[in-house]
Amino acid sequence: MNRSLEILQELKKKGYKVTRQREAIISVLGEVEHQLLTAQEIFEKILGMGSATNFSTVYRNLEMLLQEEIIRKVELNRDAAYYELNYSGDHHHHLICKKCGSIQTTSFCPLERLGDEDGFIPVEHKFEIYGYCKECVKTDSTIDRELISKSD
């Protein structure tokens, strides 16, 4: 059940060295499970654990973990990218609340319904939905259910 150990072994098998920094990064990602974290947040959590590392190291390792498809990168906005462990068989997309910033996931994936697009072969895709979560709709009367169009 310990995903972190599995990952470290997988990396070792592939010829990567198991360093304290790598252990820390993977451990942080494993602890938060599905929560999205920025490189900054990962960095801070490692320092908080009493471990030491450096921004370059975090970025370099995230890049490596991406290439090994151990993590997923989610680019929500122009600001920092988010990262999460890539659990197999757990493909999902995100619903981001424009008011409170909360992020929920949905297993709905549009790619399955995409028809033939002139011979284009899809490999990756991005589908993120921005709107208002149930809580914010309930508490904020300025969010008018009726006026909100699904356009754009």
Query: Which among 94, 85, 88, 81 is positioned nearest to 125, based on CA atoms?
Result: 94
Rounded Cα–Cα distance for residues 65 and 39 (Å): 13
DSSP three-state, residue 112? helix
Between vectors from CA 109 to CA 106 and to CA 114, what angle results, nearest 5°?
160
> What would the x/- binding string for DNA be over residues 40 to 69, using CB under 7 A?
x-----------xxxxxx-xxx-x------
122 scored as a contact of a copy of itself (CB under 8 A)? yes
Tell me the number of residues near DNA by CB under 7 A.
26
79 scored as a contact of DNA (CB under 7 A)? yes
In the bound complex, what is the minimum distance in angstroms from residue 61's beta carbon to DNA?
5
Encoded tokens for 51: 């471990």
Binding site for a copy of itself (CB under 8 A): 69, 72, 75, 77-78, 81, 86, 91, 95, 97-98, 104, 106, 108, 110-115, 117-134, 137, 143, 145, 148-152
